[in-house]
Chains A and B, each alone.
Chain A
Amino acid sequence: KQEVTQIPAALSVPEGENLVLNCSFTDSAIYNLQWFRQDPGKGLTSLLLIQSSQREQTSGRLNASLDKSSGRSTLYIAASQPGDSATYLCAVDSGGSNYKLTFGKGTLLTVNP
């Protein structure tokens, strides 16, 4: 059974810092991996999706990497801003359904002004 772990569970940084969020998964046979953002009391917003054949994806200040063989992904956030404060969730698709995702518990990020 696929398990996804996110470290750290919580992270607090001053504004302007670059930071890395980590995600690991136990079964490397995945179709893709997604990073989501969840604001308090809100739904999920997809940030980046990396297909199993890809190594990384970039969107603005966000860069996600994937090392499928080692079961790891990182989300790099450059020049963090208070508006980046949210919970970041990593999710893997092991079956190719694109919807039956296995999520981690998330990393709660606080960026202090």
Chain B
Amino acid sequence: GAGVSQTPSNKVTEKGKYVELRCDPISGHTALYWYRQSLGQGPEFLIYFQGTGAADDSGLPNDRFFAVRPEGSVSTLKIQRTERGDSAVYLCASSPYGPNTGELFFGEGSRLTVL
């Protein structure tokens, strides 16, 4: 597609439920990144994929968070046993080849609200 696409744009769930957020990067971009932006804060890095593998998952806050990118394109961020503190906008970005070879292109985000 023309840009990074994220679905759903909005998700409301109840505490304890499981949530999946999807990111479709720009076609041909091999690098994909997830960030989390809480209300009134700047984005925080979660995980970086190069191709199908997670090259850096040091930003994942705990083991309730997991992300996959099985075919090196679309990525899914999975959150188990959601907590109210998980409420945030989850941003996805992609870049061609890798992080040092071009700017990051961000999607519009998925706003997650945990009640």
Which residues of A line the B interface, CB within 8 A? 4, 41-46, 49, 89, 91, 97-106
Residues in B64-103 with C-beta less than 8 Å from chain A: 91, 93, 95, 99-100, 103
Nearest-Cβ distance from residue B77 to partner chain A, whole angstroms:
15
| Of A41, A43, A104, most B-chain CB atoms within 10 Å | A43
Q: Which residues of A contact B108 (CB under 8 A)?
A: 41-43
Could you tell me if A100 and B106 are in contact, using CB atoms closer than 8 angstroms? Answer: no
Q: Which residues of B contact A100 (CB under 8 A)?
A: 45, 48, 56, 58-59
| Of B31, B43, B45, B58, most A-chain CB atoms within 10 Å | B43
Could you tell me if B99 and A99 are in contact, using CB atoms closer than 8 angstroms? Answer: yes
Q: Which residues of B contact A91 (CB under 8 A)?
A: 42
Count chain B residues whose beta carbon lies closer than 8 angstroms to a beta carbon of A: 24
Complex Cα gap A62–B79 (Å):
39
Complex Cα gap A47–B54 (Å):
28
Q: How many A-B residue pairs have CB under 8 A?
A: 55
Nearest-Cβ distance from residue A91 to partner chain B, whole angstroms:
7
Q: Which residues of B contact A98 (CB under 8 A)?
A: 99-100
Which residues of B line the A interface, CB within 8 A? 4, 31, 33, 40-45, 48, 56, 58-59, 91, 93, 95, 99-100, 103-104, 106-109
Could you tell me if A101 and B99 are in contact, using CB atoms closer than 8 angstroms? Answer: no
| Of B41, B103, B104, most A-chain CB atoms within 10 Å | B104
Could you tell me if B99 and A43 are in contact, using CB atoms closer than 8 angstroms? Answer: no
Complex Cα gap A91–B108 (Å):
18
The chain B residue with its CB closest to the CB of A108 is: B40
Complex Cα gap A69–B114 (Å):
42
Nearest-Cβ distance from residue A28 to partner chain B, whole angstroms:
19
